[in-house]
Structure 1
Amino acid sequence: MACVLPQEAHHDFTVIHTNGIHPVSVRFCGCNALLDNRKQLLRNMWFPATPINPQTVTTFSCLRQFQHFNCLGKLPAYDYYRGLQIMTESAQRTKVPDRYPVFLCSVVQWRHLKMCKRGGRGHAATGINGTALGELVVECPACPHPGKNLPTDWDRASPEEAFLYTMFFAIDANFRLRNRVVSNEYRSPILGDGWAYLVPSIPYREHLENYVSEREMGSCSGFAAMFLANLRNVTGLRSSGVGGVCCGRHRFWRKNGLGDLQEGERYCNIDFIFWCTIQGEEYLVIVISYDISCQWSINFWKRMADLDPKFNVKFTPNGVRFMVPKFHLRAHQTKCHTRFSFDYAPGCGATHGEVIEEGWAQSNKAAAQTKEMGPGSRAMTLDDIFGFHNWLNLEKLDQVLAKRLVNAVKEFEIHYQDFIQFDSGLEKTLGRPLLDEWKEKVLRWEQDHDEECPYEDESDNDKAQFKLRQLELLEDEQSALKEGVSGYASSPSGFIVQGIELQEAQRGVALFLVVNKTLTRTQQLDLAKRRSNLMKRLSEFRRSQDLLMPRLSQVISDDEMKHITDPDHSCPEKVPLYLPSDIPRLADRIHACVAKLPRIEANLREAEAQDALEGGILGSTRAAGVLRQIDIRIHSRKIRYRIAREALLRLRGCGKWEEALKPLLDEDVRRINERALTKEEQREREERIKRVGVEPDSDGEEFLIEEGIVSRVRGEGKRRLSWIWYRPDVSEDDPEFRDAICVEWCKSRARLQRWREEVLLLTEELGRMTDYALWKAEWWFQRFVGKEGMKGADIDPDLAEGLNSYAWQQANFQSQAAEQTLDKWGELTKHARSVLARNANLKTITVDVEDGEEEKLGVEREAEEDI
């Protein structure tokens, strides 16, 4: 029925839709005074840019489309609007009015309102104003949430089961999400400040005002990521980056877990962000993965107490554990490699701690557009993007966890069999009491890291002969000075060390040129820097050489002397150094050098050779820990073993004896703590050798590293011991070998324990997903109109119907999710528990872990005792 009181809209009323920007003639209905123009537009699914006398609207479908394109593909608003503009003008051949600022305003409001709607704030009696901090986030359903997906007695769990309720956090800083000083909070206000992923701005700003002069954190890490912010120009920036916290196993961004950084990665920033995300939470154990945990953990409790005096009450020092992500750990100092390692941390399973890097990879695509935004637009955009990221994770989380569980069960079975055979072999050789002693050593270290570490081979540290010999020579020089013996302006031992290290640097440049025969511009720049550094070091070396080899010019030819007086600056890696060992005749050597210099070089060269033999230098890419003669002994017996086994096979035929005397492959002949190459690594190794045209050395050491190539390698968690070590011949006269066996036994046990924990954690997480979905379904049912704390029955009937319909829809989604998770993965979790329980005669099951991909999981064996 036509309206009897139509009201003309603005004469140039504009509609922004998915197919263009259109001028439209609009008439509002004036019959119902309660139904104002804004409501009429919203009922037509047109979003008005202003509540009073709207002149421009954007259709819901257009806003929804842009929101998805922006969150997924990071398409900037300008590019999207410009595309609509060009599409319209090319079709109509007329210029459309500029409504870009209006479109931006509509997008910010749309993001905010949709986030509040999904959080159920439209149902609450207090409305949007009653929203709590962090309430609008998409939570991780697999993480522990007391009162939502945990049993009622979870806080009284036994020490053996308490790790199942551990909360894992991953912390990191991102210096790409910068923001320039554009606009201000008056022109671009923050909507819903602190309601989702960003920390509340006002308390955060007040906190930072107390730390204006604080410098950024130091680190022992070779990555030195925290220093990058200072290396770049920060002038004109409101924010030099973003610090973030996500759950450490599933990559869900945490509530109030993101905050701007001003001057690098400072304690005050990371402390406040972490405190915000755990404020009000209750956990038995917290595990924090942070690439500079070794520094951040120092004085952690004092800084947290300054933020919240109750923090120490909620979380005890035993309840908070600091780890370094696995990839970052190797760049840290040696002392960090075990103390902060996930591989040796009880209760951590196969957690690697690097998930936050994967999250940054998605958000970094929005760096260019958010850099030029005002405070409000940027905050709303980041909240929306991180929320969309969480939602995408949620949609596929059950399949991801199921696929991990399939892999974890397989890895557990592999490492169970490996450890059982290794353990039983050592028991026959060394006896159970010694193995129990090793186990007690591990347990003591797990309780107190100041105890002797069972995962470190002390012989490795003690046998660094080159460094020990340096120390001895320096002590001798100091003793001589104390006794009144005149010294030299440059230390003799320091001069030799300087020369040896300079030779190593020259070899590095020469090897770089062999590997990279055709240089890119980046490689050319790198080569120029390395050669320039070589020339500086060479000049310093020559100054010391003038003092300690004053008569060198008398024992070398004029042509050789030119290398000293006029070196080739274009190829410093080819310039001879003329150390004492480079002078052939003994008499000339004595004449050229100050007293004892040749003897000092001889001592250091001997130590250098010993280190090279024991894997200290030539084996820098290999896990060190076993003496060289062990490897030689194995290789010398390889052929003998094969001949004997072939003869035995001809004499006896196939039989049970083959379980102990397996075929000896080349890859089986490796050091006790050396892992086997994967197929991908073997293929890459062959391709690199073929490209470069040289063979690796006789020990199989690979130094052929090309820029831009990162080999796929297995870490400690998946390393397997070669079967030849299952029954090692351990002699009382070889304590270093026994120590190496102890370290490997402890590591093998740790790998088994971590995979066992991973299976238990994943089965628990899949169960928690079901429980969380059921809780969320009930939560939505409690949002119905008339329920406690919700809007009453006196509201508009049409509004009540819409609120109830939306709540019922969301509750139904959650109920279906719980049912589907249980139906799809119930059999898998049951099978995984049976594997851990060592049940006999398990059958093979087939699970659909990915669309179009099926994987069989079967373990068939007799019942075995628990370890």
Structure 2
Amino acid sequence: MSQIALTSRLSHCLAPMPRVSNTSKTNKRFVTNASLVQREKAITSTSKGIFQKTIKVPIAPLPEPSTEPEACHELVENAGWNPGCMFVDELEFDTAANAAEPCRVKVTKSKAKRYQDSDTPLLGWLEKHREEYLDWMFVTEGRGRIFDNRCSNTGCNGEPLHRCLDCVGYAMVCKDCIVMAHRSLPCHQVQTWNGHHFSPTSLRDLGLYMQLGHLCGISCNKPLLQENFVIMDVNGIHTVRVAFCGCTDIEPRNQLLEFGVWPTTYKEPQSGVSFNLLRNFHLMNLKGHIPPTDYYHALTRMSDGDGMSPPPDRSVQFRTVIREWRHVKMGKRAGRGHDPSGLAGTSQGGNMVMCRACPQPGLNLPVGWEDAPPEARWIYALIVSIDANFKQKARARPGDARDPTLGPGFGCFVPHQRYIEEVATQTKQEEISHCVGFSAIWNANKKKSKGLRATGVGSVVCSRHGMFRPNGMGDLQKGERYINMDCIFLMSMMDIVARGLKMLYVTYDIACQWSINFFERMQDRPSEWHLPKNINIVFRVPKFHLPAHTEKCHAPYALDYTEGVGDTDGESPERNWSELNESARSLSMMTEGARFDTTDDVCNDWNHEKTLDLADSLLKKLIKGISNMVIFTRAYSAFTEALKHQHSAELLKWEKQVFDWEQGRSKDCPYEMPTSSITLAKVKKSVADEEKRREQSGENRRQTRSSASNVQKTDDGEIDTTLSGLMIEMLEIEEVQVSIASVASASNLTLYQETDLQNRRTTLLKRIRRMQENQFLHMPAVRHLIYANDEEPEREPETIRLLFPSSMSADDRISMVPAYATSLEDQLRYAQAFESLSVLRGLLRARTVTYQHSEQVTPSQRTFTRLNTLRTQIEAKIKSASEAYRLARAAVLKLRGKGDWERVLRELRIEDVRGIGERVAREEELETFRKAQTRAGVDPKDIQNILRGKSSSLPMIFVDPELEPIEKKNISWIWYTYGEQIGDSAEGASSKEVEASLRVEWCKTRARARRAREEVILVEEEMRRAIDFCRSKSIWWEEQKGRREGLEKWLDEGLRAYASEQAAMEHRRAMTWFQKLYGVRERAKVIREWVDNPTQDLEDNLSRLPALEIEVEDDATE
């Protein structure tokens, strides 16, 4: 997303009154699902172009935020801590050039031109040019259109029989000219004309030889000839004649390296691989996951297309060179060639590409960061994630012992030998998970390990930016054991902790179990692995994995309720595995050393790609974070202000409760929803217990004799269903009827859906018939009423009326139904009403999530179809839950009559079915919306689809209706009711229900506001860190010059040139990132200060900043 989306998304939510802007969007509001929301059109840019995208921003249903500073005092406690940038003064960027211009995003739109040749290029080519291309391909099979029987080199009279396939133009030249032109290009493919067609030949056969150790065209006085030297290049495998220089003592292997050919052996090399091929394969392997074997076979095909002249087999040597190339390249990029200790002196993890946005003491943290107050220490905390991957298996190979690891512990893998020795000290470890909802440990330890050297890998990654940590990966021998994960984690933390890190957040999908006794287990590990006592470590569970845990884990291990993590989800390892698993099959078949070296290289490339995309990634996060900060902070401030009118005392208590819980001083979790004391399951259990008591006391037999003396019984003379079982069965049938009726009301059912519907109806009808037979046994007098209902045989089963006691008149109920049945229905219906409300609240939360976060989905037809399908399903369930509640309440009203219970189980109106953050649009607002769209020329059908929530992508114009008064924005009563018993203390119980529900929602609103603000602060800090890291790295490369003494002049020049190149690149990257991020960073600071203190003049402060200006094309088709 480009920077212009910042103002596009925020232009409405920043100001108290929305304004129409002539910048990059068209604002509009529409009503959907009984909730007023805002839709905005933002301009986004991707690698494929610049597009317009419609996004949704929820409108806070509560009052405007208070302008009193204390209203936001909880969110600004860290505002005073603002350490400076390490290198901000050194950045040569004119930040005041356009300071006088207004701070707006000026977007100049121009109509994109449409061309059929570019829109559908294959269609035009197919119709007009396919045959033409085929003919001209045949032209190149001959000597060409412009051939005139003369050598193409001017002034040459030689016979033109040869051409080069790798040179441009396919010019026909004589033997001497083609040899002369290819003195430094010995691997080009040439052909010779035999009078009828071209035949493949080689430059070697034409007389060319490769002279090494001298300038091009100068022969050696003491040449050492190699007649059949094999070179593998990007265009095939070639046999060439090589003349090594015998004038100097430079070894042949080094002469080849100087020429750009990597020797396949260091002793008397007879073959080599060109640097061009190594670079090409390296990228193809990393990005295309092409294994060396397949790549080598492709080279063979290039050299021998007909299979009759196979080149010499050098596949084994090729794989060996690839290993050496990976290892040396990693060391070169890490500066090991400039260090006197060389590659052998590489520190643990020293070859890994480091995360520039994570805190790196000494590289990107400001002076005085160690003195940050405790409440601001989270800004400089490292957030890492741990996970295991069981697709990264490693088979036991016969050559493991003969295959060394070239860089043991130099990259992402831990030093394997030291790691294995430590793991072997604890062969048996009992790991019992008390979190029954998440059995990762138990499942992992059951994995088969026969024939495997490793069943998978454990890894530690940077959670915020998804980069692999140095020494953050190790093999797992038998599942996901604590000993393995402990060692991997501790070894990955050694370097960063040694540099003074103060705070650490750790996410792990089994953190609730793994963190128990972690520090005790750490004492059993080597002392150099121990974490310092003064470091603060916080353990949490990733967001996606948390719902699988038991409920007691949810709040304590939730990132959403953790101070200082921002919008971190902790799922970075899962995204990393998606890339690494592409190479899993190839890696699993490698020998031990090859697998370690290759995995180090693959992970290092992943980190490098993340580095290249870091500025854009942080920019997108900040744009998203600013809008979330404004929305959630305003919602929290407005919610707090609204609660102060009637719940001011409770607010103080809630604030203390949540603060004490966050500080670990209280176990009373404020985020836990109160458990309903009345559920249908509980009542069914109570009824079953009562039925058992009645059976043991003989009451059921006496009841049966009196009510069914003249009724036909079962074969064994007993009634096959108890009265309580009958009532429960009737309730369940009623639920099925509501569900089927909801499905049947849908239009455009597919043939499969219609078939399934009919099958469900048949099953339901049979179930109703069996239930009615049982009802005759307990209530024989209702037989004539049931037969009267069956007078219409064509009725669908979901419309058949069930004869509950509540469905009869009072007289019929007394005369036809046992009193115990009436009492049973009253209990069950009362519980059903509370349970239906609970289900309804959950569905409304789900609906809110689908609408508020729809802008985050990928703009593809498949994704939008899935999202709309999900919304349709949720709406259908909301309708069913609402209907179930209404049926239950109507039954209770019929059985009990009016009473105190109605103050809790109120009448459910359409406007009551809304989320806690939704409000209902008034009719005048709807009418204003319709008129505005009609005047703008929008089709009436499209307007109606928008209002009904059936469309979400139509262009609408902006409408600014007056918001409802405060008293109209009260939260729906359904959020106050959680199933407390109602009796004489009904008013007190109802008050507790309100307090409990409001406390939970207020705490969650507070947490969202705090996490959103933290996210903006963290991203701003990460931007600064990334820029400062580049500056530090530029200085570091400058310092590498001249570290090695006593070198040959030509080697020293090469070392200095490479260091200068890297230093310049790092400086250029720092400047580029600073300029790209400066505008949004400055706006973020101003907006954050305004959010912390709404009394500031936001418009005035923003106007002092330079304008962001961009020109885009409107790519919409007519």
TM range (shorter): 0.7 to 0.9
Query: Could you say if the C-alpha distance between residues 192 and 497 of structure 1 is closer, same or farther in structure 2, counting changes exceeding 3 Å?
Result: farther
Query: Could you say if the C-alpha distance between residues 615 and 397 of structure 1 is closer, same or farther in structure 2, counting changes exceeding 3 Å?
Result: same
Of residues 332, 343, 346, the one that matches 2:549 is 332
Q: How far did residue 504 of structure 1 move?
A: 12
Partner of 2:663 in structure 1? 447
Unpaired runs of 5+ residues, structure 1, are 486-491, 521-526, 532-550, 558-573, 586-594, 625-666, 704-717, 855-867
The CA distance in 1 between the partners of 2:242 and 2:530, in whole Å, is 63
Contact conserved, 1:76 with 1:369, CA < 8 A, in 2?
yes
After alignment, is 72-81 or 475-484 more displaced? 475-484
Partner of 2:243 in structure 1? 27
Q: Which amino acid aligns with 2:485?
A: I
The CA distance in 2 between the partners of 1:115 and 1:851, in whole Å, is 41
Query: Is residue 2:823 matched to residue 1:613?
Result: no
Partner of 2:651 in structure 1? 435
The CA distance in 2 between the partners of 1:231 and 1:511, in whole Å, is 46
Contact conserved, 2:438 with 2:550, CA < 8 A, in 1?
no
Give CA deviations for 1:787-824 in whole Å, capped at 9, x if unaligned. xxxx21x1222111111111111111111222222222
The CA distance in 2 between the partners of 1:471 and 1:847, in whole Å, is 68
The CA distance in 2 between the partners of 1:851 and 1:124, in whole Å, is 48
Give CA deviations for 1:179-207 in whole Å, capped at 9, x if unaligned. 11123433221111111100111111112
1:90 is paired with a residue whose SS is coil
Partner of 1:826 in structure 2? 1078
The CA distance in 2 between the partners of 1:719 and 1:347, in whole Å, is 26
Contact conserved, 1:339 with 1:449, CA < 8 A, in 2?
no
Query: Could you say if the C-alpha distance between residues 519 and 553 of structure 1 is closer, same or farther in structure 2, counting changes exceeding 3 Å?
Result: same
Of residues 162, 170, 181, the one that matches 2:377 is 162
Contact conserved, 1:429 with 1:729, CA < 8 A, in 2?
no
Query: Could you say if the C-alpha distance between residues 6 and 753 of structure 1 is closer, same or farther in structure 2, counting changes exceeding 3 Å?
Result: same
Contact conserved, 2:727 with 2:825, CA < 8 A, in 1?
no
Of residues 497, 507, 514, the one that matches 1:289 is 507
Give CA deviations for 1:441-487 in whole Å, capped at 9, x if unaligned. 211110127432222232xx1335235446656887999999999xx
Q: How does 1:8-23 map to 2 (within 5 A)?
A: 8-9=225-226, 11-23=227-239
Of residues 575, 581, 588, the one that matches 1:358 is 575
Query: Is residue 2:705 matched to residue 1:462?
Result: no
Query: Could you say if the C-alpha distance between residues 49 and 496 of structure 1 is closer, same or farther in structure 2, counting changes exceeding 3 Å?
Result: farther
Contact conserved, 1:244 with 1:258, CA < 8 A, in 2?
yes
Q: Which amino acid aligns with 1:614?
A: L
CA RMSD in angstroms comes to 4.9
After alignment, is 16-25 or 465-474 more displaced? 465-474
1:139 is paired with a residue whose SS is coil
Contact conserved, 1:580 with 1:598, CA < 8 A, in 2?
no
Q: Name which one, 1 or 2, has greater alpha-carbon Rg.
A: 2
The CA distance in 2 between the partners of 1:402 and 1:81, in whole Å, is 41
Q: How does 1:547-558 map to 2 (within 5 A)?
A: none
Contact conserved, 2:615 with 2:1023, CA < 8 A, in 1?
yes
2:672 is paired with a residue whose SS is coil
Partner of 1:200 in structure 2? 415
Contact conserved, 2:723 with 2:821, CA < 8 A, in 1?
no
The CA distance in 2 between the partners of 1:213 and 1:28, in whole Å, is 60
Of residues 223, 245, 257, the one that matches 1:6 is 223
Partner of 1:417 in structure 2? 634
1:4 is paired with a residue whose SS is coil
The CA distance in 2 between the partners of 1:479 and 1:619, in whole Å, is 36
Percent identity of the aligned residues? 30
The CA distance in 2 between the partners of 1:91 and 1:476, in whole Å, is 88
Contact conserved, 1:493 with 1:600, CA < 8 A, in 2?
no
Partner of 1:347 in structure 2? 564
Give CA deviations for 1:199-229 in whole Å, capped at 9, x if unaligned. 1111111122123233666473756555555
Query: Could you say if the C-alpha distance between residues 391 and 472 of structure 1 is closer, same or farther in structure 2, counting changes exceeding 3 Å?
Result: same
Query: Is residue 2:744 matched to residue 1:744?
Result: no
Partner of 1:797 in structure 2? 1049
Q: How far did residue 834 of structure 1 move?
A: 1.4
Q: How far did residue 152 of structure 1 move?
A: 3.0
1:258 is paired with a residue whose SS is strand
The CA distance in 2 between the partners of 1:397 and 1:350, in whole Å, is 17
Query: Could you say if the C-alpha distance between residues 101 and 612 of structure 1 is closer, same or farther in structure 2, counting changes exceeding 3 Å?
Result: same
The CA distance in 1 between the partners of 2:453 and 2:584, in whole Å, is 14
Partner of 2:112 in structure 1? none
1:23 is paired with a residue whose SS is strand
Query: Could you say if the C-alpha distance between residues 142 and 504 of structure 1 is closer, same or farther in structure 2, counting changes exceeding 3 Å?
Result: farther
1:406 is paired with a residue whose SS is helix
Q: How does 1:103-502 map to 2 (within 5 A)?
A: 103-214=318-429, 218=433, 220=435, 224-226=439-441, 229=444, 233-280=448-495, 281=497, 282-309=500-527, 314-316=532-534, 319-431=536-648, 433-448=649-664, 450-458=666-674, 461-463=675-677, 465-469=679-683
Give CA deviations for 1:582-602 in whole Å, capped at 9, x if unaligned. 9x99xxxxxxxxx99989975
The CA distance in 1 between the partners of 2:377 and 2:656, in whole Å, is 21
The CA distance in 2 between the partners of 1:181 and 1:508, in whole Å, is 59
The CA distance in 1 between the partners of 2:422 and 2:835, in whole Å, is 53
Query: Could you say if the C-alpha distance between residues 472 and 502 of structure 1 is closer, same or farther in structure 2, counting changes exceeding 3 Å?
Result: closer
Query: Could you say if the C-alpha distance between residues 785 and 505 of structure 1 is closer, same or farther in structure 2, counting changes exceeding 3 Å?
Result: farther
Ranked by relative contact order (alpha carbons within 8 Å, sequence separation 6 or more), the top structure is 2
The CA distance in 1 between the partners of 2:1020 and 2:727, in whole Å, is 56
Query: Could you say if the C-alpha distance between residues 499 and 812 of structure 1 is closer, same or farther in structure 2, counting changes exceeding 3 Å?
Result: farther
The CA distance in 2 between the partners of 1:756 and 1:804, in whole Å, is 45
Contact conserved, 1:421 with 1:726, CA < 8 A, in 2?
no
Contact conserved, 1:38 with 1:48, CA < 8 A, in 2?
yes
Contact conserved, 1:216 with 1:265, CA < 8 A, in 2?
no
Give CA deviations for 1:846-867 in whole Å, capped at 9, x if unaligned. 998999899xxxxxxxxxxxxx
Q: Which amino acid aligns with 2:606?
A: H
Q: Which amino acid aligns with 1:298?
A: I
The CA distance in 2 between the partners of 1:502 and 1:372, in whole Å, is 56
Q: How far did residue 94 of structure 1 move?
A: 1.3
Q: Which amino acid aligns with 2:633?
A: Y
Give CA deviations for 1:30-74 in whole Å, capped at 9, x if unaligned. 1102x0101000001100111001122111111111111111121
Q: How far did residue 701 of structure 1 move?
A: 8.1
Contact conserved, 1:243 with 1:270, CA < 8 A, in 2?
yes
Q: How far did residue 335 of structure 1 move?
A: 1.7
Contact conserved, 1:470 with 1:604, CA < 8 A, in 2?
no
Query: Could you say if the C-alpha distance between residues 771 and 327 of structure 1 is closer, same or farther in structure 2, counting changes exceeding 3 Å?
Result: same
Partner of 1:757 in structure 2? 1014
Contact conserved, 2:843 with 2:877, CA < 8 A, in 1?
no
Query: Is residue 2:1055 matched to residue 1:806?
Result: no
Query: Could you say if the C-alpha distance between residues 268 and 92 of structure 1 is closer, same or farther in structure 2, counting changes exceeding 3 Å?
Result: same
Q: Which amino acid aligns with 2:1007?
A: A
Contact conserved, 2:680 with 2:835, CA < 8 A, in 1?
no
After alignment, is 68-77 or 471-480 more displaced? 471-480
Contact conserved, 1:216 with 1:264, CA < 8 A, in 2?
no
Corresponding pairs, count = 737
Query: Could you say if the C-alpha distance between residues 42 and 23 of structure 1 is closer, same or farther in structure 2, counting changes exceeding 3 Å?
Result: same
Contact conserved, 2:724 with 2:824, CA < 8 A, in 1?
no
The CA distance in 1 between the partners of 2:734 and 2:457, in whole Å, is 40
Give CA deviations for 1:215-262 in whole Å, capped at 9, x if unaligned. 666473756555555676543121111111111100110001111112
Q: Which amino acid aligns with 1:81?
A: Y
The CA distance in 2 between the partners of 1:734 and 1:15, in whole Å, is 85
The CA distance in 1 between the partners of 2:739 and 2:429, in whole Å, is 40
Q: How far did residue 287 of structure 1 move?
A: 0.9
After alignment, is 412-421 or 362-371 more displaced? 412-421
Q: Which TM-score applies when normalising by structure 1? A: 0.74
Contact conserved, 1:326 with 1:342, CA < 8 A, in 2?
yes
The CA distance in 2 between the partners of 1:279 and 1:148, in whole Å, is 17
